[in-house]
A and B are shown apart, each in its own frame.
Chain A
Amino acid sequence: MVTFQEKKLSNGLKVISHYDKTSPLAIVNVLYKVGSRNEHSSQTGIAHLFEHLMFSGSKHVEDFDLPLQEVGGENNAFTNADITNYYDIIPSENIETALWLESDRMKFLDLSDNNVAIQKKVVIEEFNETCLNRPYGDLWHHVSDLCYQKYPYKWPTIGFTPEHVSSISKENALDFYARFYDPSNATISITGNIENDKAFDLVNKWFGDFKSNQTVQPLLGKEPTQTSKRTKTVYGKVPTASIMLAFPMHPRIHPDYYTYDLLSDVLGYGKTSRFYKKYVIEQSIFSSINVYITGTHGPGLFIIEAKPADGISIDQCRDTIWKELSFLKKEGVTTYELQKIKNSLVSHMAFSETSILNKAMSLAYFDSIGNTQLINDQMTAYDGVSTSQMLRISKELFTEEKTNEIIYLPIEQKG
């Protein structure tokens, strides 16, 4: 149970506080409701590049990192399709330094041409390091493009190509800042050894006088229902073949989300999950298997990703996956399997609650999907999932016409 209080400032900034006196630290987590889905398809990668630019310094603070390091703190950030999340880990006595820094860059970011030029180079090296120079690193470029026709999940957060990142100008960045980095588009969560009243007072002190310039955000478009199977074969410098099946599923806030999540765990989480136990251990068909959901704010994906064991073909891999899915659609899951997954979630959540960083991120995240209480209530939602719901979702989800199939092969196999 995570006890917390939440408030909204008059400028629209959402503030959430959770007091945990057992920690010597405090977390200041600032979430902006902007991600790569808010980009234009001709200039992708700007949300993530902008995350880098947020460390450029601001009107009253030349360097973001230095003052934080000086008081014993550190920070990091991540961007995904839906959100950009910044966090500071700091000795709790010095929390005000983090609020000073975060507030200054929310309102007074100072971008120079040089900052933009350098960070574009850094991000292109990140593109190289994490996508182009890594085996299977560009898989999600192919998956996103194949699975989405209209919705702006059609490109990964890093961007469609390095050229898109290169094309971003300082003016583009400033426009992005003006549109999305507004108090009304942000949630700040504070956890750790700071009493709630003090947290609210300090946030009010540093952010309270900001005016909101909220502009109307464009609608994100609607993904049409998939009606036929899509396939793609990719060749690259990879050591073994790989197959991925992706099936469209509902957004995170849909009540069926919990059923999808449990279903992915029954199939692929842990040594006793169906795919792992039968086909990695007992029959040696796969050398690795991953089953997971993307859980995005918008239309999501249910993913099954397998690599064949030595001597097994991709066709055998695909047949095996479908054989198991057909069995699932016919027989469903057992009460025992469902209970096992629910039990593991209970432990997982209890463990997660031992970290003030996890708690800060979760509180802000749940607020971003519209319900902070989910941090405590989501287990009830998981608990309510029945075997008949699992069967219904299996039948709806795993059909030929809703399949997106990506095969990744070593370049030597290209005919």
Chain B
Amino acid sequence: MPNRSKAPSFTTSFDISLGEISQTKLSTGQTIWHIPADDSEITRIDVIFPSGRRNETRKGQSRLCIKTVTEGSKNMSGDNFNEKMDFHGAVCQSSAGMDYTSFSLIAMKQHLPALLPIWLEMILNPVFPAKNIGQKKNLAAEQLKRELAKNSVVAYRELTAHIFGKDHPYGYNTEPKHYQALNSEHLLDFYNANISIAQASFIISGNIPKKLDDSLEKFCKKSESQASISKPILKNNYSIIDREIEGLQDNQYTLRFGRRLFEFDHDDSRHFQLLNLVLGGYFGSRLIKNLREEKGFCYHIDSTVDTMKDDGYFSISADINPENVQATQSEIIKEINILRSELIPEEEFRIVKNYLKGQLLTFIDGPFAKASLLRNYLVKGSNPLYFNSLSKDIEETTREDILNMAIKYLDPEQLNKIVVGK
């Protein structure tokens, strides 16, 4: 019979590194990252372009453009393309980010020879047919209408608009009228000005066919795209508000607190991530313990850090019964003030550090998790190999570092406070 009163022994020295990945450069200049897993039957290819919402000349342009790239190319209709992808059980994804655009192909290795050429053809030679664009615009507008019926969506939009400014690419809110004002030409303009194969990077993960680099290189050589990408400077119009907004739903109010932070690679980023964990970033956090597990005020409450290439923000989010909204706001401020005035207890700090190290292992669990991790670095213009030093950074962070982060960034007076309800 085991001794149940004594916890089993454990270790916290894990190998938290990206392991077997390599990068090569094509003769055409593009970097390719390889994350091989020969026992998998799947190959995943990501292609990343360093331009996105920040390069728009019209609101809604990048998203609609990227979502409609596969509607048709010079040599193939969108219908034909979709049929071929579906018939081979392949998945095509696209992502229109703030600072980047990416396309992904996920397929059984044996189908790659049939799919790779048409996928590259589609994403590199789109024509944006007017009829398809009309349908996509309507669908996007109707989807937006459904989203806006959620208090949490209304709150998120209000917060980011105030943190970055209502015309800032990181902060503006898309409205149905923005989609309606766009036409094929606007999408083609965005594409031609910003999506250039010369600027692309690739990540190949899973079962990697031997000659895949050669195939990609051939394609890069014959590609005609010549975009010279604009590098707009972002101007922030930070403002602080404390307001209540009418929402459609009234059983609960959505509460969002937040403030501007810093970019992905900022010196404070790693220390702040630990502070965020302590406050509301995991299930053992102070906000969860206080407001959910001790008071039963809410089902979820959390805090998050979202950093982009050139800026970022911190936010706290919860859905609360109307009668507990005031009390919840006071408790959040109370928890923040404790973090600003007291060193975090050693025991709690040790647990948070161990927990975070375990989390880092989930980011490198298998080739596709690693591919996502790499992608997250690359789209922010950062070097994925920084990941290998995170574990050491965590070890070296002190309780004083956390206190300093709280003093520097979590002044309650500097927080935007938004409540959405009836």
| A residues lining the B interface (CB < 8 Å) | 22-25, 59-61, 65-67, 69-74, 89-91, 93-94, 96-97, 99-100, 103-104, 108, 117-123, 125-126, 128-130, 132-135, 205-206, 209, 237-240, 270-272, 277, 280-281, 284, 287-288, 307, 309-310, 336, 339-340, 343-348, 350-351, 354-356
Q: Could you tell me the distance between the alpha carbons of A411 and B79 in the complex, rounded to whole angstroms?
A: 38
Residue contacts A-B, CB under 8 angstroms, 23 given: A23-B365, A23-B366, A24-B14, A60-B4, A66-B284, A69-B284, A70-B351, A70-B355, A72-B354, A89-B362, A96-B9, A121-B295, A121-B296, A122-B292, A206-B2, A237-B249, A239-B146, A240-B142, A340-B86, A340-B89, A343-B89, A347-B88, A347-B106
A121 touching B149, Cβ below 8 Å: no
Task: For B359, list chain A residues within 8 Å (CB).
Answer: 72, 74
Q: Shortest Cβ distance from B44 into chain A, in angstroms?
A: 9
User: Does the CB pair A284–B138 fall under 8 Å?
Assistant: yes
> 7 smallest A-B Cβ distances: which pairs?
A72-B358, A121-B296, A347-B89, A126-B299, A96-B8, A60-B4, A343-B89
Main secondary structure of the interface of A (DSSP, over half): helix
A206 contacts across to B, CB distance below 8 A: 2
Which residue on A lies nearest to B107, using beta carbons?
A347
Question: Using Cβ atoms and an 8 Å threshold, which residues of chain A touch B14?
Answer: 24, 72, 91, 93
- Complex CA gap A69/B359 in Å reads 10
* Chain B residue with the shortest CB-CB distance to A348: B89
**Chain A residues closer than 8 Å to B319, beta-carbon distance:** 125, 128-129, 133
The 8 Å CB contact of B86, one of A89, A271, A281, A307, is A271
B224 smallest CB distance to A (angstroms):
27
A362–chain B nearest beta-carbon distance, Å: 16
- Whether the Cβ atoms of B89 and A128 lie closer than 8 Å is no
With A347-B89, A347-B91 as contacts: A70 and B4 at CB distance below 8 Å: no
CB neighbours (8 Å) of B146 from chain A are 135, 239-240, 307
**Distance A355 CA – B250 CA, assembled complex (angstroms):** 39
CA distance A126 to B299 in the complex (A): 5
In the complex, which residue of chain B has the Cβ closest to the Cβ of A73? B358
User: Of the candidates A60, A237, A240, which one forms a contact with B5 in the assembled complex, judged by CB atoms under 8 Å apart?
Assistant: A60
Q: Are A122 and B296 in contact (CB under 8 A)?
A: yes
Docked Cα-Cα span, A307 to B145, in Å, equals: 12
Cα of A237 to Cα of B42 in the assembled complex, Å: 44
Known contacts A122-B299, A350-B40; is-contact A135 B87 (Cβ 8 Å): no
Closest chain A residue to B37 by CB distance? A22
Distance in angstroms between the alpha carbons of A356 and B352 in the assembled complex = 24
Check B284 against A65 for contact (C-beta < 8 Å).
yes
Contacts of B40 in A (CB 8 A): 350, 354
Q: Which residues of A contact B206 (CB under 8 A)?
A: 354
B86: which A residues are within 8 A, CB to CB?
270-272, 340, 344
CB distance B143 to A287 under 8 Å? Answer: yes
Q: Is B271 an interface residue (CB 8 A)?
A: no
CB pair A90 B358 closer than 8 Å: yes
Do B90 and A347 touch across chains, with their CB atoms under 8 A apart?
yes
Flag if B351 contacts A69 (CB, 8 Å): yes
Query: Which residues of B are found within 8 Å of A100, using beta-carbon distances?
Result: 2, 4, 7-8
Contact present for B282 and A69 (CB under 8 Å): yes
* B326 proximity list for chain A (CB < 8 A): none
CA distance A280 to B321 in the complex (A): 38
Classify chain B: how many residues form its interface, as a range: 35 or more
Report if A128-B252 is in contact (Cβ < 8 Å); known contacts: A24-B15, A91-B358, A133-B151.
Answer: yes
Q: Which residue of A lies closest to B348 (CB)?
A: A66
Choose one: B1, B299, B362; the contact of A125 (CB below 8 Å): B299
| A412 CB, min distance to chain B CBs, angstroms | 11
Let me know if B150 and A134 touch, CB within 8 A.
yes
With a 10 A CB-CB cut-off, give which of A60, A129, A237, A280 has the most chain B CB atoms.
A129
Which chain A positions have C-beta within 8 A of B292?
Answer: 122
What chain B residues lie within 8 Å of A240 (beta carbons)?
142, 145-146
Cβ of A123: which chain B residues have Cβ within 8 Å of it?
299
The one of B1, B4, B294 that contacts A118, using a Cβ cutoff of 8 Å: B294
Q: When chains A and B are docked, how far (Å) is the Cα of A297 from the Cα of B84?
A: 35
Say yes or no: A351 contacts B42, CB within 8 Å. yes
Residues of A contacting B79 in the complex (Cβ-Cβ under 8 angstroms)? 272, 277
Known interface pairs A117-B296, A128-B252; A135-B149 also in contact (CB < 8 Å): yes
User: Which residues of B lie under 8 Å from residue A129 when comparing CB positions?
Assistant: 252, 298-300, 319
Q: How far is the CA of A356 from the CA of B366 in the complex (A)?
A: 9
Instruction: Check if B87 sits within 8 Å of A343, measured CB to CB.
Output: yes
Known: A65-B284, A344-B89, A354-B368. 16 other contacts (CB 8 A): A60-B5, A61-B4, A65-B283, A71-B12, A89-B358, A126-B299, A135-B146, A135-B248, A135-B249, A209-B1, A239-B148, A272-B82, A307-B146, A344-B86, A347-B90, A350-B42
Q: Which residues from A are CB-within-8-Å of B365?
A: 23-25, 356
Query: Are B42 and A238 neighbours in the complex by a CB distance under 8 Å?
Result: no
Give Cα A73 to B11, complex, Å. 12
Chain A residues in 8 Å Cβ range of B41: 350
Q: Is A135 in contact with B366, judged by CB distance below 8 angstroms? A: no
Asked if B216 is at the interface of the complex by the 8 Å CB criterion, the answer is no
Contact residues, B150-167 vs A (CB, 8 A): 150-151
B4 contact set on A, CB distance < 8 A: 59-61, 100, 103-104, 108
Q: How far is the CA of A312 from the CA of B15 in the complex (A)?
A: 58
In the complex, which residues of chain B have a beta carbon less than 8 angstroms from the beta carbon of A117?
Answer: 296
Residues 2-42 of B, flagged 1 when their CB comes within 8 A of A and 0 if not, give 10110111111011000000000000000000000101111
Question: Quick check: A239 and B145 within 8 Å, CB to CB?
Answer: yes
> What is the distance, in angstroms, from A357's C-beta to the closest C-beta of chain B?
9
CB distance from B20 to the nearest CB of A (A): 11
Q: Is B396's CB within 8 Å of the partner chain A?
A: no
A237 touches B149 (CB 8 A): yes
Determine whether B135 belongs to the interface, using a CB cutoff of 8 Å to chain A. Answer: yes
Contact A346 B108 (CB under 8 A): yes
CB distance from B210 to the nearest CB of A (A): 20
With the chains together, A230 CA to B14 CA distance in Å?
58
Question: Is B76 an interface residue, CB under 8 A from the partner?
Answer: no
Query: How far is A235 from B163 in the complex, measured between Cα atoms in Å?
Result: 37
B58 neighbours in A (Cβ, 8 Å) = none
B356, closest chain A residue (CB): A72
- Kindly report which residue of chain B lies nearest to residue A24, judged by CB atoms: B361
